[in-house]
Structure 1
């Protein structure tokens, strides 16, 4: 046991040292490039970090987080239903689930956004405006259709994550549940899904990272999220490098912690399987 602890602490020290070396090298490269560029390009960070500009970025950040969070919830719920349909004993449900996945995954997301906002939304806009309960969103708003487009598109990918997780649960456990008198729905609810959820959390976290990055494409429908905010600021003040560098930093501030959490969950799951 003592030897295991020594090996564990030694491994952690090696990982920490590698991380430190990587950070130092990255910092040297960044500062070196910055110094070379500053000889020919007059950086104006004092103008870029104006409180008014940062307030605009923060407002865009809130929109990005709101859209991404709601779309992840919607995509996960719909993705679970599609996964269950694809694993259903009924052929018609399996075919419908497969058709949904194949159609959505083979349409460029940019095209799908344009279709949903400039096509489908116009059909619904002919009727009265209806508020969405508890969310303070109207059915004809850009944020509503942005969430709908992201949810529907992501569900086609999330459904495959759910399906793989469910199929990873050994069939003997399902057979044992059925032998105890459980129905198909009950065996899924009480036996399969609780185990599958543990295995799909890391890839779901990775899908959330992809969703946050995909939300940048919602700028094409003039949704004022982070990317459109940066573009509007560049049009007002030609600080291209500065504003887009700040934009990249905002996205990294969202995605890097999520990536770290996903990595930790994957390692924890791998350790759990080894035991």
Structure 2
């Protein structure tokens, strides 16, 4: 393995790493917020919202991530404006991941005993207050492992940004590989950078899960 590739092009690796981290963090926050809202829509008594939530999840989950990113990269031009690769890729990643997070949180909501909702409503809380303060906190604790897996998948899926010049880790790695003709060595170092992100997250999810199990 040619370690000089890492040292000679460390600046480019670092720039791509920063782009991947920024895109992943923004998509993680956005997908969690959207996914939580869609999960609530999936089980709400309001039929129109329930249909919207179901349609959103089923549509997004059954099309490729790349297609979602292309929609946000090429689609806005039809409306008279454009998004750069980073913005389009991050938005696409957010939308795609939110559908999977919505299903995970919905499963957690369903797993919360129905008596919790009835007790909260009988104490004077309305539906949204009950969902926000009683049901969702319990549901999210129940689905920490699948949520952690989705967040790890999100980081790995961020490599799709390279296809729309999203200035992520893979984008810069492609340039390094083209310049050095050392494809294997270049992408091995890319794998190490991804591990720097995913391994601590995986460990953190396991620790958090064990602490919650001891507490509850």
Give the alignment partner of residue 10 of structure 2, picking from 54, 76, 87. Answer: 54
- Equivalent position of 1:150 in the other structure: 93
Q: Does 1:123 align with 2:78?
A: yes
Aligned length: 216
Report the CA distance between 1:253 and its aligned residue: 1.0
Report the CA distance between 1:272 and its aligned residue: 4.0
Counterparts in 2 of 1:44 and 1:191: CA distance versus 1, 3 Å: closer
Report the CA distance between 1:242 and its aligned residue: 1.4
- Equivalent position of 1:189 in the other structure: 132
Give 5+ residue unaligned stretches, structure 2.
none
Tell me, in whole angstroms, the C-alpha distance in 1 between the residues paired with 2:50 and 2:189.
45
SS at match of 2:177: helix
For residues 146-197 of structure 1, give each alpha carbon's deviation from its aligned partner in whole angstroms, at most 9, with x where no partner exists: 1110111111001011111222221111101111122111111221122223
- Equivalent position of 1:44 in the other structure: 2
- Equivalent position of 2:61 in the other structure: 105
Give the alignment partner of residue 88 of structure 1, picking from 44, 66, 79. Answer: 44
SS at match of 2:83: coil
Report the CA distance between 1:231 and its aligned residue: 1.0
TM-score (norm 1): 0.74
Q: Does 1:199 align with 2:142?
A: yes
Q: Does 1:208 align with 2:151?
A: yes
TM-score (norm 2): 0.93
For residues 9-53 of structure 1, give each alpha carbon's deviation from its aligned partner in whole angstroms, at most 9, with x where no partner exists: xxxxxxxxxxxxxxxxxxxxxxxxxxxxxxxxxx4323x1334x0
Tell me, in whole angstroms, the C-alpha distance in 2 between the residues paired with 1:204 and 1:96.
22
- Equivalent position of 2:107 in the other structure: 164
Question: Comparing 54-63 with 158-167, which one deviates more in the overlay?
Answer: 158-167
Give 5+ residue unaligned stretches, structure 1.
1-42, 128-138
Q: Does 1:114 align with 2:66?
A: no
